[in-house]
Every structure is written in C-alpha cells, then in structure tokens.
Structure 1
Amino acid sequence: MVRRRTLFGDRARYWFDSTLARGAAVLVLWMALLCLAIVLPASAVLAWTDPDVPASLADRLAQVWRHTGRTLRLGGATGPPLRVAMSVLLALVTLLYVSALVGLITAALTERLTALRRGRSTVLEEGHAVVLGWSEQVFTVVSELVAANANQRRAAVVVLADRDKTVMEEALNTKVGPPGRTRLICRSGPTTDPAVLPLTNPAGAGVVLVMPRDEPAADAEVVKTLLALRAALSEVATRPAVVAAVRDDSYRLAAQLAAGPGSVILESDTVTARLIVQAARHPGLSLVHQELLDFAGDEFYLVAEPALAGRPFGDALLSYATSSAVGMMRGDTPLLNPAPDTLIAPDDLLIVISRDDDTVWLEDCAELAEEAAMASGPPTPARAERVLLLGWNRRAPLMVDQLRRRSRPGSAVDVVTDHGEATVGEVDEAAANSAGELSLTLHHGDVTRPETLRRLDVYSYDSVIVLGRDPAPAPTPGQSPDDPDNRTLVTLLLLRRLEETSGRELPVVTELIDDRNRALAPIGPGSDVIISGKFIGLLMAQISQNRHLAAVFEELFSADGTGVRLRPATDYVLPGSETPFATVVAAARQRRECAIGYRIHDDTSTGPRYGVRINPPKGERRRWSAEDEVIVIGGD
C-alpha cells in the first residue's frame, strides 16, 4: 500500500513539473485554476450566509459571481451572457494594460538601479578629486583627502576601478570610516578605457590620482591609464593636476610623457628605500615622517610673507610662535634649510610647518631664546656604521646605494638571504655599485630559522633591516595567495625572542606590505615600521593639495640633499636645563639647521606619538635630558 502511494505521488509530481515546463501560458492557467479553487467556494459561503440575498438559486449564484468578479477584478456584472462576456473582456483588457504598465515601470526601475549599482552614471561634481585604480593605497589616499576637506562644504572624492561598486563602497566605509562633509562616489570600469573615464568627469576635477599596484605589470598599467586620461581630455583646454606613482625608475619618463607637463610622477621603490635607510640611520625617524605627511597633524604649507621680504632667512626661524619655517620656494625650486644669511626675495614663498594654513601668523619670538642654556660644544661626530640586512627584494639594491652615498670609512652591510631570494650576481652588482667606503658581504641562510640568527652577532650592528620578499604573481584559481609579510613576521618573532633572552633592545627597521599586519608585528610600539604603500599614499595625498610640495619632498627624501634628522639634544642645549623651545631653534640656527621638534626619551614607548613632538610652540618650556633628541632639517 505504501509503495503504491509513493509511486502515485511521484507520478503526480512529475506530471505537474512537466506541465510547468511548457511555458508561461500553462503557468497562468494553473494560477487561474488555483485562484478559482479558493475564490469560488469562499464566495459561495458568503452568498449562502448573507441574509439580504434572495433565497432563489439563481440569485445566490449571481451573488457568487459578483463576489468572484470583485475579487479577481473581472467586473462582476450580471445579466444576459453577452453583458457578462463584455464585462469580463473589459476587465481582462484593464488587467492586461495595468500589468504591462507595471511590468514596464518595474523593468525600467530595475535597469536603472542595476546601472547605478554598477556605477555607470556620470559624475557632475566640480573641483573634486578623482582616484583611478584600486590598491591598498586607496584607503590611505581617501582618508587623507577626507581629512584635508574637513573644513570644506561640498568636497567629493570619486574612485574608479574595475571592481563592483558595492564592494568598493563597503570597503571604503569599513576602512575609511565616516567621510564627514566629503562625498565618496564609486564608479566601476577599467581605468585604461578612454570611454569609461568620462564617468568621473575628469575635465571638471581638481586633481587626478593614479594608484599603483604591487604587481609585475603595474607600471605598464599606470602608463596606459595616463594615456587613456590624456585621450579622454584631448578636447579640454584646462586639464586637472595629475599625481601618479610607478615602481620602476625606467617607467618614470614614459609616465611623465603620458601625463603631460605639470604632472607629478613618484618612484615608489626609490622613496621607500630612502625612508627605510633614513630610519635605519636615525631610529624613530619613520614616526616623524608619518607625522609630517599625515593631514591629522602638522604639515607643510607655502605662504607669502611680504613683511619678511629683504630680511635674512634666519630671522624667519623665530618669527612664528606656532609654526616652523624650514625653507623658501624660489620659483619652482625649493631651498630647504638655506643659510641663515640668505635674503628673502619679495617673490619667495616661505616653506613652513603648521597645524593648518590659517595658523600661520607672524609673532617675534627672538627674545624667548636663552643664550645661557645653549650648548657650545662641537656636534656629535658621525662614525662608521654596520647594517644587517635580513632578506632581499627588488628595493634592496636601492637601499645599498642609499647606504653607500653617506657611508663613513669602515662602514659595512651584511646581507643574509636564501639562495632563492638573491642571486650572487644581484648582490655582486650591488656591491660593485657600492664600491668606496662601504663593504657588502653576502651570507646564505634562512632568516626564518633560529639557527641562522644565532650564528650572527646581531647586537654588533647599528641597525637591523628586515625585508620581505616581492609579492608573487596573481595565483591561479583555487590557489591561496602568498602573503609576502608572512616571512617578515616570523623573522620578527625570532628577533623578539633574542631581545627577551638577552634583555637588550635591537634597533630594528621593518618593511611591511600590508598595513593590517602592523598590529601583528611582534616589535616595540615605537619601532620603525615602513608600510611602503601607506607612505606613498600619504605623499600622493599631500601633493594633490599642492603640487609644489613634490619638489619639497623630493629634496627632503633625497640621498644627498637636506632631510629630516634626529640629533642629540645635548648638541643644542645644556643637559638638565629648563628652557623654551625657542632656545633650541636659536641654537640650531647657529649650526645652520632648522629645528622643528623633539623626541622625549622617556615617552618612546608611549602611544600615540611615542615621544615625537612636531612644531611645538616657541614659548613651550621643558627640562631637557641627555637622552632626548631634537628633530631638525639639515644635512649630514
């Protein structure tokens, strides 16, 4: 018995599924039969239980028809068959018309909403920032642009990338947070297509930023995007400022030609190598750089000061109570830390560090300097340095070159890599290019194994640089990507173990690719960590607000030019003395340097600044210890 019921149920279900598969007409028929099966019995119950309906069968059937007609919108008219048929016909025509109209409206709205979700509508904003491409730098750039536009009412940032619009919006909302007054607009499409770029209205933009990706073909894509942008703006008289970045120096000229005159092209690998080497030579310098590049703190501004025209630059150092003068912009040429007796021309712009552009005002602070508290001895002499380089990637030869440029006699760099990370030829080539005062030695070993590090006398080095491998090409489907920071984190764990065992602190500078791994790195809170993409993003955001700052940063981060330095406080003030910061500025002026801040030794492990104070008021008094450091802009 059970077997027979099961077979009958299967056959009935199969027959029902087969009828539905015949098309929409059969589906409509089934829906009509289902409705009638419910409506007719319910209408009959209403008709037979209504006391106002005559008791005759014809009258009750007519009432059943009226209930059915009103329910199914079939008119419900009674009378001769022709009248009923016409009523049903008109009701069906009305139903067809309304259904078709609703369907058309629904289809149009669905199409429009789909287009909007895909990000295919044209932006009508003016003076906005356009970000082309998608990488980890996008979050840094957008965050900084939001901070820079905090005091503007109708600012907008438009992001165009070959990704789903909804995915980009969710990622920005998660990592950037509330945009405040700034509108964040995402559009989907390839950045290398000139027909897609008009979606961002680049002709009306104030600046266009082209994001680099950390992939082998990233530079070629940047150049192609710049060419597409030029094609999209071919008929525009006034073009927006363009800021882009490439990894390899060999692509810089092509990118410059594609972007056109007035554009700024950064070399991300070169800048990253310079930042790592400077942090290795001056521990804590990465914190200073981040403070100067972050819109949340003090940053660089160009201001005109007619009142200082004709006076020596040294007077400008103590002419601001809450800002720090560090140089002059003469035409398009930056003069960082010029000689104090350099006269300020009427057309010169002063380069100052300040909280905001409206906090730069003149106030004579020369009388605050206390000459009795100034140190009079010679500066601390530079000495030979020993650097341990753990790991190897494409930026390593650039770092060796940076170390060579300022090396003292007897300086040495020891490189420890796997056989697969750096070939003997690569290191030999770097050694040949570093011929002079710097010796380069290659040691083979796995930096993620404890025995490799135990063989090294790591405490004999002035600094230890930990590098990760270059990111691997995109994995095949189903294969998990290889995080280049994984080996770096393992190496840092081993170094941390050595510190805990010996009780001594290692001067470690770490390069990470992903900013999210910063919280995972087993290092001290105030240690130097260079997130290459983040620093490039900060630079691009700063330059997007004022393209003249590109020349300032080029000089600031150059290997042979004027840069940010950390000097012992005892070179400027007597240890233990309590004196205003104006005294430090005056003492630095005597040494042909521009003092812009200090680092408190006792707070180097305390966040969020880790002892770094940029642009303090000139009248701020504090007691200076022998372990404190002064942040200056000057040469070696």
Structure 2
Amino acid sequence: MAQRRTPFGDRVRYWFDSTLARGAAALVGWMALLCLAVVVPASVVLVWTDPDVSASLTDRLAEVWHLTGETLRLGGVTGTPLRVVMSVLLALVTLLYVSTLVGLITTALTERLTALRRGRSTVLEHGHAVVLGWSEQVFTVVSELVAANANQRRAAVAVLADRDKTLMEEALSTKVGATGRTRLICRSGPTTDPAVLPLTSPATAGVVLVLPHDQPDADAEVVKTLLALRAALAGERSRPPVVAAVRDDRYRLAARLAAGPGGIVLESDTVTARLIVQAARRPGLSLVHQELLDFAGDEFYLITEPALIGRPFGDALLSYPTSSVVGMVRGGTPLLNPPSATPIAPDDLLVVISRDDDTAWLDDCAELVEEAAMASGPPTPARAERVLLLGWNRRAPLIVDQLRRRARPGSAVDVVADQGEATTRQVNEADADSGTGLSLTLHHGDVTRPETLRRLDVYSYDSVIVLGRDPVPGQPPEDPDNRTLVTLLLLRQLEEAAGRELPVVTELIDDRNRPLAPIAPGADVIISGKLIGLLMAQISQNRHLAAVFAELFSADGTGVRMRPATDYVLPGRETSFATVVAAARHRGECAIGYRSHADSSTSPGHGVRINPPKDERHHWTAEDEVVVIGKD
C-alpha cells in the first residue's frame, strides 16, 4: 500500500514548530526575520516613492538602511563598515538593556498583581471585623455586619478562608449585594496557620468571628483556628473579642478554652433544636426570632436610665412609648422578665427592644391603658401534644430531648425515618431517656415516597417537623434540602386534597432553598446556619448580649413565647398595645408584640408586629396571638 504523501503546508508547519521548540534563540531569530521581512520592503517603497530622495542607487540604498535602522532602533548610521557595525552594536546593547528592564518591571508587576489576586497582602485596618472560615453562614454574618455599619463613616470586614480570593469576592458580591460604606476585603489562606492569620490584622480588629464549615470535622477545625489565633496574638497587649460557633457540645469546652477568657462560643445544634421545638409548639415563632435577630428591624439594646433608678421594674414596662423593656443586666447576669417589684439599681442596664440605640426615650404611657378591655380569666392551660417527626439527623435527638423537657403527660412523638442501625440506635437511646411524660415511636419508611405519608394520619398531630439528612462528605451541601423539598411537596399535596393546612416546621440547610419550599405563607422555616449567623453578628456588636441570648434560648429559662390574645384582652375590642403590656405585667410577663391572624398570609411580616408603639390600636380577635417574654 502506497504511503500517503504529507501535504506541503503540514510539513512547513511541522518544521516551523520544531525550530520554535529549540528555545529562545530560535524565537528571537524568527522575530528578527519577520521584522526585516516587513520593515525592509516598506522602507524600499517609502524611499523609491519619495521625490526628494536622490536618484542614485547608492543614496537610495543608504536611505533604505537609515529608515530600517530607525524603525528597528539599530542606529541607522552610514559611513565606513566599522561605523555601521559599532552603531548596530550600541543599538543592540541599548535594546538589550531596555528590554531587560521592561521585562523585570513587567515581572514584578505581574507577581504583585498575582499576589493581590491571591489575597496575600496584609490588611491595614483598625476596628474592623475579621471573619475566619467559609460556610453558608458567612453571607448572613457579612450581610448583618454591613447593616450594623450602615451609620459608620469607615467600616471594613475582612474575610479569611482557604479559598480563591476572586471566587470569594464574586460570591459575596452576588449574595450580599451593595455594601454601602462598608468595605469587604478577602484574603486567601488556611485559618489554622498562625503565620497566615496576620494577613487580616486581628490584633487591631474590633471583633473576630470564627465560622464552622460544612464538613464533619468542622468543630475540630474551629478549635484549631482558635488556637492559631491565640498563637498569632501572642505578645499583644490587647486582644479583640472572639465569637465562635461549634455544632457538637463535646467541643464547646475545648473551644472556650482556646478562645480565651473573653471568648464567646455558641453551640449551633442545640440552639437550632430549641428554636425548632419552640416553633413547633407555637407556629409563627420563627418569624419573631428572625425579626429580633436581624439588624433590619428592632433588636436588643442595653441602656442606662438614671430617671428609673429606685423604681420597680414594672414601672419601666410602660415608660417607653416606642421601645419594649424585657429585663435587666445586673453585674453581668441577665434578669429577663424579673418580678415587677424588683427595684432598678444604679448599676443596672435595662434590656430593651428598640429600632436603634437612640430611639429609647422616656414618657409615661400608663394613661393609654384601658383596664376595662383587659381579660381577667385564667390563662389557657397547656395540654398533651402529638408531634410527627419526618426524617432523622444529628439534631433529632436534641429535638426529642427538648420536647421531653416540657412535655405534658400523654404527649407522644412519632418518628418516620429510613431503616438503619444508626438511626434505630439513636431513637432507642432517646426513648430510654424520654421519661414517663413522652412516648417515642419509630416507624420505618422513606419520607420522600407518597405511600409512606398516606399511611399516616398527619392531621391528628399538633405539629409536623421535617428534617433533612446530615450532609455526607463529598456530597453537595444542598442535597439534604432536596429530600426535604420533596417531602414538603408531598405534604402540600395532602393539604390541597384535604383543603386544610398542616402546622409544618421545616429545617433547611441552604437559605437559597427557602423560596423553593412548597409551604403556606408565613410557615415556620428554620435555616440553622442563618440563625447562628444572626446570633454571631448580634453578639459581635455587643458581647454583653451573649448572656441575654443564652437565657432567651435556654431549655428551661425565660424565652420568647406566643400566647392567645384572649389571655390578655377581651376579643372583639379595639385597644392600645399599652393595654396588652399592662395585662401581661399582671401575669408576670413582658409583652413585646403580637401576631394578627387576619394578616398571617401577608408578606413580609405575615402578621407579626414586634415592638409596636404603645399608642398603636388593634382590633383583637380570638385567633390573634401576643408575643411575650416569659416562662412556660
């Protein structure tokens, strides 16, 4: 068989590529030939078309050489061969020097720009916030810090994570949006390396926040980051306050020790479990928590009020027209909803809910109280509850424990989860600790299959809690939410078929999936990472609020509750909110808002009104609820 002849063009291209492969000398030679191939013919055309040039061939060739030399910076000197050679030599030396200098400058600039793109330069800021770590919480934390710094002239947030700087900046720009006066600075590097942490200048920072990532070893990573931070700040006279979060209670003590005396460590799983249970018992409570924790609305402040010193705490409840007093901080210890007769001491700080720290002003609101509209009957008694738990994850045992703590005799929790040894063992362990007030039953089944849910009498339960699986290493973080969304879609189908709404509480991992959830408007959705991010942002602005939040979200302490409005005011009456505050004071509680049943389907508040003015009037119905700070 005859050998196929290689095309001439391919052979030329191959020969050309082979010469280039010989190195820089071949490349320089080809560039010189290419330049001469263009410059010499062009110079000839210019000379032969110039009427002012002598007609002599020698003169014209000399002029061609002169134009070529000027174009290629070769001097272009004419005369004896020695002069021409020396001229070319000097031109080549000049060209070598200039090109080398340009190359050095270009290389230095390229290295500098590359270092800047990699985020390896040191942040020179004072009083800025440092965020160490990367997870879904980072967007919530940064957004809240931007909102808190809205009235600051110069504010900065430095984020350090073991990710590409450009990718971090793009993600923050997309999810956080406009930052106003706050500058976002991203630096790239491992947060567990003490040599890398100085890039964010933690010694001059106003606060340092340590975020857990989404992998199973997140808590160990947080502890290592805190240890690295302590090593990086060794020898510094002052250290910034540190706020960190861990998922497992087993790492909380280690994280506290690593954070130092002034460090604050939150336990995210326990807080999330408590909020899920609270929302399951009182639908709509997650909306109240969202309103209290973000910087967009009213939030907690600590203020001093000399005019109230010596007066009983109950007088303070009706002393602020546009703020809600909920407790005191005495000697660093929060006293939420103390007895009305408790005197206010000179060193006490009042805990108030207000629009801003300068919107709490004194004025007597007692004249707004309408005692004739106040309810006088006993409060609505608590009763046994039945809870359906769809799905199982690492927070499920904590949820069962929270349900057990306040369960009335006869209460029951039915768990529907995939059959597995780990799940069965955890449910059995939770059942062994459940005591006599709560019965726990495990039903094996896939909560993403319609037949599993159809076998359940879902409307016989007081609340339905939907949990996603724990993220698997190497699995996208949104995968657990995918199963949750499928379960919610099936529950929605049951609601439409029956024409009734189910009291569903949903736990999601990614806040971006919240608009996708097929649930009723105003339903309770707990975004675990977002809630912890909101808490961390609040505490970063006022570390004294850590004790307040610890009390609010404790298992058996004083917390946010929602009660039937008929416990406080007569239904069918229109009264001021000051009347509700006075009625709650008689019951040993602090009223901070209400939820209107008529507006429960209207966004964005879904009927929740936190810290309304004392003179605001509302027509109360039997379906309305009052938001109070108190105990069960």
Q: TM-score range by the shorter chain?
A: over 0.9
User: Which residue of the partner structure matches residue 384 of structure 2?
Assistant: 384
TM-score under structure 2 length normalisation: 0.98
Preserved contact between residue 310 and residue 345 of structure 1 (Cα < 8 Å): yes
User: Which residue of the partner structure matches residue 433 of structure 1?
Assistant: 433
CA offset at residue 265 of structure 1?
A: 0.5
Aligned amino acid, residue 469 of structure 1: R
CA offset at residue 90 of structure 1?
A: 1.6
1:358 aligns with 2:358: yes
User: Which residue of the partner structure matches residue 322 of structure 1?
Assistant: 322
Q: SS of the counterpart of 1:114?
A: helix
CA offset at residue 9 of structure 1?
A: 2.5
User: Which residue of the partner structure matches residue 221 of structure 1?
Assistant: 221
CA offset at residue 360 of structure 1?
A: 1.1
Distance of 2:163 and 2:309 partners within structure 1: 52
Preserved contact between residue 556 and residue 562 of structure 1 (Cα < 8 Å): yes
Distance of 1:98 and 1:356 partners within structure 2: 62
Q: What number of residue pairs does the alignment pair up?
A: 630
Correspondence list, 1:389-408, <5 A:
389-408=389-408
Identity of aligned residues (%): 84
Q: SS of the counterpart of 1:239?
A: coil
Summarize deviations over 1:536-570 as a string: whole Å, max 9, x none: 00000001111111111111011111111111111
Distance of 2:478 and 2:152 partners within structure 1: 42
Distance of 1:49 and 1:578 partners within structure 2: 101
User: Which residue of the partner structure matches residue 559 of structure 2?
Assistant: 563
Summarize deviations over 1:277-320 as a string: whole Å, max 9, x none: 00000100000000000000100000011111100000000000
1:533 aligns with 2:507: no
CA offset at residue 481 of structure 1?
A: 6.8
Summarize deviations over 1:192-245 as a string: whole Å, max 9, x none: 000000000000011100001232111000000000000001111211000001
- Stretch of structure 1 that moved more, 431-440 or 269-278: 431-440
User: Which residue of the partner structure matches residue 46 of structure 1?
Assistant: 46
Preserved contact between residue 54 and residue 60 of structure 2 (Cα < 8 Å): yes
User: Which residue of the partner structure matches residue 255 of structure 1?
Assistant: 255
Summarize deviations over 1:310-363 as a string: whole Å, max 9, x none: 000000000001100000001111000111111111100000000010111111
Distance of 2:11 and 2:451 partners within structure 1: 73
Preserved contact between residue 198 and residue 232 of structure 2 (Cα < 8 Å): yes
Preserved contact between residue 384 and residue 409 of structure 1 (Cα < 8 Å): yes
Q: SS of the counterpart of 1:43?
A: helix
Preserved contact between residue 314 and residue 341 of structure 1 (Cα < 8 Å): yes
User: Which residue of the partner structure matches residue 586 of structure 1?
Assistant: 582
Distance of 1:4 and 1:432 partners within structure 2: 83
Preserved contact between residue 391 and residue 421 of structure 1 (Cα < 8 Å): no
User: Which residue of the partner structure matches residue 483 of structure 1?
Assistant: 479
User: Which residue of the partner structure matches residue 507 of structure 1?
Assistant: 503
Preserved contact between residue 393 and residue 422 of structure 1 (Cα < 8 Å): no
1:97 aligns with 2:97: yes
1:492 aligns with 2:478: no
Distance of 2:428 and 2:295 partners within structure 1: 42
Distance of 1:135 and 1:238 partners within structure 2: 29
User: Which residue of the partner structure matches residue 83 of structure 2?
Assistant: 83
Distance of 2:4 and 2:288 partners within structure 1: 84
User: Which residue of the partner structure matches residue 176 of structure 1?
Assistant: 176
Aligned amino acid, residue 218 of structure 1: A
Cα 1:421/1:215, change in 2 over 3 Å: farther
Distance of 1:421 and 1:267 partners within structure 2: 27
User: Which residue of the partner structure matches residue 545 of structure 2?
Assistant: 549
- Stretch of structure 1 that moved more, 3-12 or 19-28: 3-12
Q: SS of the counterpart of 1:404?
A: helix
- Stretch of structure 1 that moved more, 125-134 or 441-450: 441-450
Q: SS of the counterpart of 1:358?
A: coil
1:72 aligns with 2:68: no
Give the unaligned 5+ runs of structure 1.
none
Correspondence list, 1:103-122, <5 A:
103-122=103-122
1:630 aligns with 2:629: no
- Stretch of structure 1 that moved more, 562-571 or 278-287: 562-571
CA offset at residue 376 of structure 1?
A: 1.0
Distance of 2:114 and 2:13 partners within structure 1: 37
Preserved contact between residue 596 and residue 633 of structure 1 (Cα < 8 Å): yes
Q: SS of the counterpart of 1:630?
A: strand
Q: SS of the counterpart of 2:479?
A: coil
User: Which residue of the partner structure matches residue 244 of structure 1?
Assistant: 244
Distance of 1:538 and 1:128 partners within structure 2: 18
Cα 1:137/1:80, change in 2 over 3 Å: same
Summarize deviations over 1:245-277 as a string: whole Å, max 9, x none: 111101000000011001110101000000000
- Stretch of structure 1 that moved more, 82-91 or 354-363: 82-91
Q: SS of the counterpart of 1:214?
A: coil
Distance of 2:4 and 2:382 partners within structure 1: 99
User: Which residue of the partner structure matches residue 595 of structure 1?
Assistant: 591
User: Which residue of the partner structure matches residue 620 of structure 1?
Assistant: 616
Aligned amino acid, residue 158 of structure 2: V
Q: SS of the counterpart of 2:516?
A: coil
Deviating beyond 3 angstroms after TM superposition, the runs of 4 or more aligned structure 1 residues are 3-7
Distance of 1:7 and 1:329 partners within structure 2: 90
Distance of 2:190 and 2:535 partners within structure 1: 25
Q: SS of the counterpart of 1:442?
A: strand
TM-score under structure 1 length normalisation: 0.98
Q: SS of the counterpart of 2:85?
A: helix
Preserved contact between residue 74 and residue 88 of structure 2 (Cα < 8 Å): yes
Preserved contact between residue 478 and residue 510 of structure 2 (Cα < 8 Å): no
Summarize deviations over 1:83-138 as a string: whole Å, max 9, x none: 22222122111111111111111000001000111101111100110000000000
- Stretch of structure 1 that moved more, 137-146 or 566-575: 566-575
Q: SS of the counterpart of 2:440?
A: strand
Q: SS of the counterpart of 1:472?
A: coil
Distance of 1:188 and 1:525 partners within structure 2: 40
Distance of 1:608 and 1:310 partners within structure 2: 41
CA offset at residue 593 of structure 1?
A: 0.5
Distance of 2:619 and 2:386 partners within structure 1: 33
Distance of 1:509 and 1:269 partners within structure 2: 16
CA offset at residue 482 of structure 1?
A: 6.9
Preserved contact between residue 304 and residue 348 of structure 1 (Cα < 8 Å): yes
Distance of 2:478 and 2:363 partners within structure 1: 55
Aligned amino acid, residue 434 of structure 1: S
Preserved contact between residue 189 and residue 196 of structure 2 (Cα < 8 Å): yes
CA offset at residue 388 of structure 1?
A: 0.6
1:144 aligns with 2:144: yes
Preserved contact between residue 478 and residue 509 of structure 2 (Cα < 8 Å): no
Distance of 1:12 and 1:474 partners within structure 2: 50
Q: SS of the counterpart of 1:579?
A: strand
Distance of 1:272 and 1:236 partners within structure 2: 36
Aligned amino acid, residue 45 of structure 2: V
Q: SS of the counterpart of 1:152?
A: coil
User: Which residue of the partner structure matches residue 127 of structure 1?
Assistant: 127
Summarize deviations over 1:10-43 as a string: whole Å, max 9, x none: 3222221111111111111111111111111111
Preserved contact between residue 214 and residue 477 of structure 2 (Cα < 8 Å): no
Preserved contact between residue 480 and residue 509 of structure 2 (Cα < 8 Å): yes
Supply the RMSD in Å over aligned alpha carbons: 1.2
- Stretch of structure 1 that moved more, 570-579 or 251-260: 570-579
Q: SS of the counterpart of 1:538?
A: helix
Summarize deviations over 1:137-168 as a string: whole Å, max 9, x none: 00000000000000001111000000010000
User: Which residue of the partner structure matches residue 301 of structure 2?
Assistant: 301
